[in-house]
Structure 1
Amino acid sequence: MSLHPEIARVLATLPAPPPGPLDPAVLRADEESHVVPLSDRLPLHDVRDTTATTPYGDVPVRIYSAVEAKSGGVLVYLHGGAFFLGSLETHDHVARALAKESGLTVVSVGYRRAPEAAYPAGLQDCYGVVRWVVEHGDEIGWDGQTLALAGDSSGATYVAAVAAMAHDDGLSAITHQVLYYPSLDLDFDVHRYASLRENAEGYGLETAGLKPFNAFYLDSGADPADPLVSPIKRTDLTGLPTALILTGEFDPLRDEGESYGERLRRAGVDVTVTRYEGAGHGFVQHFSWLPEYHRAFEQTAEFLR
């Protein structure tokens, strides 16, 4: 199959990246400038900002409830952005869609980002919020049953790492993990996965851009050989939560996500891996207005039920 025509049309309109080193402030400002006004966002029963107090510090979170309910399941959402982009605002539409389709209370995490916050600050924030949900379930409306993690791209890296941290700490509350086009191997040797070569150019995220975009995180102390940085390098995957992994046909990161799914399966983890045809990287964040890719939220809801 070829790249979805609407994705191809949008990619053709994007300007070339500016020359010179990447500037986080400029890139963040550009991303935030595309956030839609509050009045144009998907309406939900309740959306509120609060602060999660964790052992690593206070972490801003946004809590979404699609319906009025005293208690129910909770989904902790970790946004993507190569560990230095993304925010509660830029991924607000993703969290809203997850809440609406799943019926779960969604807790979106405003974790600290590189390069200002060195590794493992962002990862600690994510893990701290998961523990905060468990410890403050009554306040959030968690019924003590379903507790899911979901994330896209680098947010999915954090999902896999947090699931491993919880397992190693004996925190058994996490029931599901959802990884949208995950970045699981931050050693960007192009010979590791065929998709890094097959989808190297022309599909949005390009293989040559992986190193510079992740450099802020890696240069802050994140070691690609560490399984908490590159979760696919974890040797023992037994006992991890049931998983849903969605990949894009034309994503350079496709094969590492699918390889991770196969390793989870071999370790006895219940896992579903789905490749979305015609899609490149970022289709949940950028193209979920297309019915073919909004299906990702519907599939997530089915998985969580």
Structure 2
Amino acid sequence: MPIDPGAQRVLDLIRELGRPPIHTLNPEEARAASAKSRSVLQPEGEAVAEVEDLTCPGPHGPVRLRRYRAAGTEAAEVLPCLLFLHGGGWVIGDLDSHDQPCRLLANAARCSVIAVDYRMAPEHPYPAAVEDSAAALRWVVANAAQLRIDPAKMAVGGDSAGGNLAAVLAIMGRDGTVPAVGYQMLLYPATDMAGHHPAYERFTEGLILTRDTMRWFIGHYAPDPQRRFEWQASPLRANSLAGTPPAFVMTAGYDPLVDEGAAYARRLEADGVHVTYLYVADQIHAFLTMGRFIPASAMVLRQAALSLRHHWDAEPVL
């Protein structure tokens, strides 16, 4: 399958500008390069009914959050909620990097989206991001009335590293260590830090995320190789996924994470979890934050949001 023309234009632009591969930079340089590219790659964010920056208590200080309410909703209306964990390899990304996708998801799913600004590696390695994400989920559910959300219609989701964290929260919810959630939205998720899947060898150069770049991220996030095999780092290695909530899993064809994302969808299905799996054969990793060049970005985000909205609409009324 040929690569999407818009995705190819992004790759060509990166080469034309001479931007070095992420894995050749230090974390501060990588963050600066990522922030600089946002206005070039992302469209303007959709208008929503309300945006509010918040904080919640975390294990090592306050965790920043950003709450969105879908356009067209009333101020007092109690909405379903998606807790969103941003991507960026646990090293880059923040509330601003995923502001545009969060706005689109809120509107398309007609819900509240609460984005989490968890601590970044290498300053705060694994399991700091897990701990902050878990603290945020606990706080959001405990403060549902104040936030005007329905705790019985709670979902977790994220892209890439955020998909990893969302999958981990879904397992933790099943096990009772955080509040249980009803849905998991995993967008080209990282699920196995071993890095031995065949896609790692297929995508070694010419893309934004390559084998070496992914290993750079993993090295910063989980510097102890033995800890990479813990399921809270590699949810694909959990003993069982049975009892975790229904899932929407999306993978991209030109992505070193494609094999482990597909394997996670298969594990969910084998363990009796309802899963919707979307394989976008002509896309690159991170295309969801490149909507100025890649129209499929909005289409796939809307598909994910509509899957979530369908789940909420289909839930029985108690």
Amino acid paired to 1:238: A
Counterpart residue type for residue 81 of structure 1 = G
User: In structure 1, what is the Cα distance between the partners aligned to 2:22 and 2:82?
Assistant: 39
Instruction: Return the offset for 1:21.
Output: 5.1
- The AA in structure 2 aligned to 1:34 is S
1:265: how far off? Answer: 0.4
1:4 has 2:4 as partner? yes
Matches within 5 A, 1:17-166: 17=20, 22-36=25-39, 40-55=44-59, 57-67=61-71, 68-69=73-74, 70-166=77-173
2:211 is aligned with 1:204 = no
Deviations 1:31-89 (A, max 9, x none): 2233449x943221111101112455321100001233320100000001111100001
**Structure 1-normalised TM-score?**
0.92
Partner of 2:285: 281
Corresponding residue of 2:316: none
Runs ≥4 in structure 1, deviation > 3 angstroms?
Answer: 18-21, 34-37, 54-57, 170-173, 287-291
Does residue 194 (structure 1) correspond to residue 201 (structure 2)? The answer is no
1:20 and 1:66 map into 2 onto residues whose CA distance is 37
- Note the C-alpha offset of 1:30: 2.1
Structure 1 CA distance for aligned equivalents of residues 23 and 169 of structure 2: 34
What residue is the counterpart of 1:218 in the other structure?
222
Q: Secondary structure at the match of 1:119?
A: coil
Q: What is the rounded CA distance, in whole Å, between the counterparts of 1:180 and 1:20 in structure 2?
A: 22
Q: Post-superposition shift, 1:116?
A: 1.2
Matched position secondary structure for 2:205? coil
Question: Is the contact made by 1:161 and 1:228 (CA closer than 8 Å) also made in structure 2?
Answer: yes
Cα deviation for residue 120 of structure 1 reads 1.4
Q: Secondary structure at the match of 1:204?
A: coil
Q: Matched residue of 1:26: which SS?
A: helix
SS of the aligned residue for 1:301 comes to helix
Q: Deviations over 1:173-201 (max 9, x none)?
A: 30000111111111112xxx232223333
**8 Å Cα contact 1:288-1:294 kept in structure 2:** no
Kindly state the Cα deviation for residue 302 of structure 1 after the two structures are TM-superposed.
1.9
What secondary structure, in the 3-state scheme, does the structure 1 residue paired with 2:254 have? coil
Alpha-carbon separation, structure 1, partners of 2:191 and 2:22: 28
Deviations 1:237-275 (A, max 9, x none): 110010110000111111110111101101000011110
Structure 1 residues 271 and 170, CA gap change in structure 2 (3 angstroms): same
Q: TM-score, normalised by structure 2?
A: 0.88
User: For this pair of structures, how many residues does the alignment match?
Assistant: 302
Give the 3-state SS of the residue equivalent to 1:268 in structure 2: coil
Where structure 1 has 5 or more consecutive residues not aligned to the other structure, the ranges are: none
Aligned to 2:315: none
**For residue 270 of structure 1, what is the aligned residue in structure 2?**
274
1:160-179 matches, within 5 Å, as 160-169=167-176, 171=178, 173-179=180-186
